[in-house]
Amino acid sequence: MGIIEKFRLDGRVAFVTGSSSGIGQAIAIALAEAGATVICHSSKSGGASDTVAAIEKLGSRSVEIAGGMADKSVPAKLIGEITDKFGRIDILINNAGMIRRSPAVDFSEADWADVIEVNLSSIFRLSQAAGRHMIAQGSGKIVNIASLLSFQGGITVPAYTASKSGVAGLTKALANEWAKHNINVNAIAPGYIATKNTAPLQADETRNRQILERIPAGRWGTPDDLAGTAVFLSSAASDYLQGHIVVVDGGWMAR
């Protein structure tokens, strides 16, 4: 197989959580461009319709699936729906997430529980359910969306930092167990990407300036900046990469 062919995803079934917009949408479209059938996810029915339409416009197959990740029963249910319909799952992109901002001394129990459930526990449940099928079929790719806060502490985001640090650890733990089954588990740690989640930072003139001064590339990232890494980690080109957190940050961590 030539190197270009190794990046192709023809015949693969991919599930991208949180793919109604932003990072998840860009990754879903990129996987479809590489040849995969892509199941797009949103917390509410119809939420990912724009992504599905964009993929179908490419001539690729896509369907939508919905469910809120705060519900403990949803991850296994969604994986079951996918495997019932398509008979397999080859790629799982764990992108769905949330953020709540508050000083640590004022951070509520409810906010803590919500963020940990959506950002960490649901990823374990999705990976566990998908992993059972991937082990049975003898192959699979799981890509988690981590964060710069998998390495740093951040400010006024204690639950988000804890959850994303957990994602990094879970990525390594699952890779250790499942590599022998020909399943690759890796993660992408995006830098400062212009999305809805970072809109408050972009709108804060002082914070925006401080962020840009720290980024060697001199700009905020875009969701499309992550697409190539996602395709690589989902493809045969990354078959010997395990438990790695790939930082895509314009040089932030190198500064």
State the catalytic residues. 160
Tell me the H-state helices in 72-221: 74-86, 109-116, 122-137, 158-178, 199-203, 205-214
Cβ within 8 Å of residue 90, ≥6 positions away: 9, 12, 13, 14, 36, 134, 139, 140, 141
Q: Locate 79 and state its tokens.
A: 């994986």
Q: Locate 29 and state its tokens.
A: 């479209």
CA distance 234 to 14: 9
CA distance 103 to 158: 8
Pair 128, 185: CB distance under 8 Å? no
**Which of 167, 184, 173 lies closest to 130, judged by CA?**
184
What string of H, E and C letters represents the secondary structure of 120-146?
Answer: HHHHHHHHHHHHHHHHHHCCEEEEEEC
| Largest CA-CA distance found in the chain, in angstroms, rounded | 56
